């Protein structure tokens, strides 16, 4: 019996240890919180950012801290960006970490921990100050722990409807403030690739792991490498074109889970996407033409079919990706439009026969002096072009193309542009017909 209890305690400690104190904070990079009067700022604390987060969390009067990237120290602050006389200023030396409960514009659960500054009810009535007993007498009194500051909406009695307040209307004693939960504050559009909400819990209630941490789960989605994915703090995101936003969890036994986010009511459409039908731009995510064969002429498999290849790109689950019939599309942000093929031996292939839109073709560089080449091309257009390939000896165009194509599908795009728009012949190498990064497309699961 005692052995069993010790084992359970050990497991509990291990699971708890995976949670970083930074999970309670919202980070703003290269930013400093400036107050007109800084006499309340505590002395600097030496240590890493986790130590600072733990120190701030242990203090009731600490609401944020700025971390000095140069001295590796922090200052604990009793204010946030919403406090009076405080401004956020750009400063590359500092990163600011603010307690989520004070700056997040939504509530988690019943909103007991909400410390925002909303001070009116859902019907627009002004809240009564918690210190005052008029026009409504009540039993609550502010202290350092309950957060009953000013006349801000709070939930001291754990009301299931969330934060509320007494009103200044003598005929209406109290009213809900109508602050939305984080699940519904920002609705889900399409597959949520543009979701920027503040939900940090999965659909089963597990807390999300911060994207800038590699524990308890190591992963490739470093926010520094994917700035366009907005991998903020530990909020639910969709950086890999999954069915909907998800996150890695703080549970060592569960790597990742989807997040339950309310879908938008209005018609869904992918934002910042140019729709074209006779050519493709960028990576071709907006291509809606009717090309239905691969570069080598293999017919494409219908998106709503699971034969001969099973996959996850069900048109009903990806309503904004244009997965109609068997047309070439790019639902996952690959290099160009592609499709599953009807050949059982070739799972996927690109549709490079689709032309790139004329106004989307850009020069990749220039040459200096005599243009002494890093990689030599045949005589004619482009000879002497210096490319950042890192090759140590001259190569012919054909050999350079083959080597780059064997290494990465991005190489074919670079070399094609270097040859001034000359489209290479359809390669016969199996790795080129079915690029390696597409070989297992559709099998990814959460």
Residue pLDDT, tens place only, 315-354: 999 999 999 999 999 999 899 999 999 999 999 999 999 9
Confidence check: pLDDT of 294 > 60? yes
pLDDT tens for each residue of 248-260: 999 999 999 999 9
Stretch among 144-158, 203-217, 248-262, 352-366 having the lowest mean pLDDT: 352-366
- Name the pLDDT band for 266 (thresholds 50, 70, 90): confident
Confidence check: pLDDT of 52 > 50? yes
Average pLDDT, the chain: 81
DSSP string spanning 101-157? Answer: HHH-SSBSTT-TT------B-TTSPBBPPTT--SSS--S----TTT---TT--B-TT
Q: What is the pLDDT of residue 379?
A: 36
pLDDT tens for each residue of 56-93: 999 989 999 999 999 999 999 999 999 999 999 999 99
Confidence check: pLDDT of 397 > 80? no
Q: What is the pLDDT of residue 269?
A: 74
Q: What is the pLDDT of residue 386?
A: 29
3-state secondary structure of 443: coil
Stretch among 32-41, 176-185, 312-321, 344-353 having the lowest mean pLDDT: 32-41
Arithmetic mean of pLDDT, 95-110: 96
Give the contacts of 108 (CB within 8 A, at least 6 positions apart). Answer: 114, 181, 182, 200, 201
The rounded distance, in Å, linking the Cα atoms of 217 and 203 is 18
Confidence check: pLDDT of 407 > 50? no
Q: Which residues are registered as beta bridge partners of 207?
A: 201
Q: What is the pLDDT of residue 47?
A: 93
Architecture of domain 16-103: 3-Layer(bba) Sandwich (3.50)
Arithmetic mean of pLDDT, 414-426: 36
Q: What is the pLDDT of residue 372?
A: 55
Q: Which residues are registered as beta bridge partners of 103?
A: none
Q: What is the pLDDT of residue 44?
A: 85
Confidence check: pLDDT of 439 > 50? no
Q: What is the pLDDT of residue 122?
A: 97
The rounded distance, in Å, linking the Cα atoms of 348 and 334 is 12
- Name the pLDDT band for 274 (thresholds 50, 70, 90): confident
Q: What is the pLDDT of residue 366?
A: 60
**Residue range(s) of every CATH 3.50.4.10 domain in the chain:** 16-103
Architecture of domain 273-361+440-446: Beta Barrel (2.40)
The rounded distance, in Å, linking the Cα atoms of 127 and 150 is 9
Arithmetic mean of pLDDT, 166-178: 97
Residue bearing the bigger pLDDT, 103 or 394: 103
**Residue range(s) of every CATH 2.40.20.10 domain in the chain:** 273-361+440-446
Confidence check: pLDDT of 49 > 60? yes
Arithmetic mean of pLDDT, 291-314: 96
3-state secondary structure of 267: coil
Please say whether the beta carbons of 128 and 166 come within 8 A. yes
Confidence check: pLDDT of 426 > 50? no
Task: Record the pTM.
Answer: 0.74
């Amino acid at each position: 019996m005692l052995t069993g209890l010790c084992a359970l305690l050990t497991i509990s400690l291990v699971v708890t240890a995976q949670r970083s104190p930074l999970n309670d904070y919202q980070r703003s990079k290269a930013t400093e919180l400036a107050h007109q009067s800084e006499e309340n700022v505590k002395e600097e604390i030496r240590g890493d950012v986790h130590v600072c987060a733990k120190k701030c969390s242990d203090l009731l009067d600490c609401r944020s801290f700025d971390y000095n990237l140069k001295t590796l120290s922090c200052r604990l602050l009793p204010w946030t960006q919403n406090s009076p006389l405080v401004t956020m200023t750009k400063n590359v030396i500092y990163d600011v970490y603010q307690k989520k409960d004070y700056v997040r514009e939504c509530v988690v659960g019943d909103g007991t921990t909400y410390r925002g500054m909303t001070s009116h009810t859902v019907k627009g009535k002004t809240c009564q100050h918690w210190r005052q007993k008029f026009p409504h007498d009540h039993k609550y009194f502010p202290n350092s722990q309950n957060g009953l500051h000013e006349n801000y909406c709070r939930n001291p009695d754990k009301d299931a409807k969330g934060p509320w307040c007494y009103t200044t209307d003598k005929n209406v004693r109290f009213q809900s403030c109508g602050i939305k939960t984080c699940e519904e504050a920002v609705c889900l559009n399409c597959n949520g690739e543009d979701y920027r909400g503040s939900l940090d819990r999965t659909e089963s209630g597990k807390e999300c792991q911060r994207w800038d941490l590699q524990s308890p789960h190591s992963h490739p989605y470093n926010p520094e490498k994917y700035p366009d994915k907005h991998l903020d703090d530990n909020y639910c995101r969709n950086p890999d074109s999954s069915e909907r936003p998800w996150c890695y969890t703080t549970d060592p036994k569960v790597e990742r889970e989807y997040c339950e986010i309310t879908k938008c009511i209005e018609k869904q459409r992918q934002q910042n996407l140019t729709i074209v039908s006779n050519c493709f731009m960028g990576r071709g995510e907006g291509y809606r033409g009717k090309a239905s064969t691969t570069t080598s002429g293999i017919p494409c498999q219908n998106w709503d079919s699971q034969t001969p290849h099973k996959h996850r790109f069900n048109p009903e689950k990806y309503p904004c990706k244009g997965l109609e019939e068997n047309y070439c599309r790019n639902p996952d942000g690959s290099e160009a439009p592609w499709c599953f093929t009807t050949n059982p031996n070739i799972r996927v292939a690109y549709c490079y026969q689709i032309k790139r839109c004329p106004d989307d073709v850009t020069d990749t560089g220039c040459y200096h002096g005599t243009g002494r080449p890093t990689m030599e091309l045949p005589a004619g257009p482009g000879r002497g072009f210096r490319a950042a390939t890192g090759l140590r000896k001259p190569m012919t165009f054909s050999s350079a193309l083959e080597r780059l194509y064997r290494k990465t599908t991005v190489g074919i795009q670079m070399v094609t542009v270097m040859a001034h728009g000359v489209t290479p012949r359809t390669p016969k190498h199996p790795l080129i017909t079915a690029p390696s990064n597409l070989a297992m497309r559709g099998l990814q699961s959460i």
